[in-house]
Amino acid sequence: MSWDVFIMRFPPGAGAVDEIAGDWEPPSLGSGRDVRVVLAEVLPGIEFSPGGWGDYEGPGFSVSTPVNEADDAPVAGVSLFIHGGSEAAVHAALAVADALKARAFDTGSGDFLTADSAQSAFDAWRAYRDRALGQCGP
């Protein structure tokens, strides 16, 4: 079970996804090569497979992210599939968004993540994960 965070250059004035116009087109985060370089800077040691999946092992958490666009193709958004319970995951998600000059969106809560809200969103996800896994166990 993962905490799923989506990174995109959402309109800065939008406080919620439903405030974004239906015909809005997201600006590119950069080329596939550029985005992978930024991820490697923010998540040192990330390894990309030939298919474009990046895997990172952090302190008490891991991140998987598909960046399978060609080196010169534009990337509209980056998904972060975060596993583990370390609060360092919160900082990593925000750091990726910041480095890409973008905003992070918590797909579980439907809210944008900020320095003020990210920890509580992560805590809510961990509580949900722990309840769900507890119900699945023996």
Using one digit for the tens of pLDDT, what is the confidence trace for 56-94?
Answer: 999 999 999 999 999 999 999 999 999 998 889 999 999
Residue 137 has pLDDT above 70, yes or no: no
User: HSE of 90 in the Cβ direction (CA atoms, 13 Å)?
Assistant: 18
Residue 4 φ/ψ region, left for φ over 0, alpha for ψ in the -120 to 50 degree band, beta for the rest: beta
CB 9 within 8 A of CB 102: yes
Q: Which domains does the chain have, with CATH numbers?
A: 3-136 (3.30.1400)
E strand or H helix at 39: helix 32-42
pTM assigned to the model:
0.89
Percent of the chain topping pLDDT 70: 97
Percent of the chain topping pLDDT 90: 64
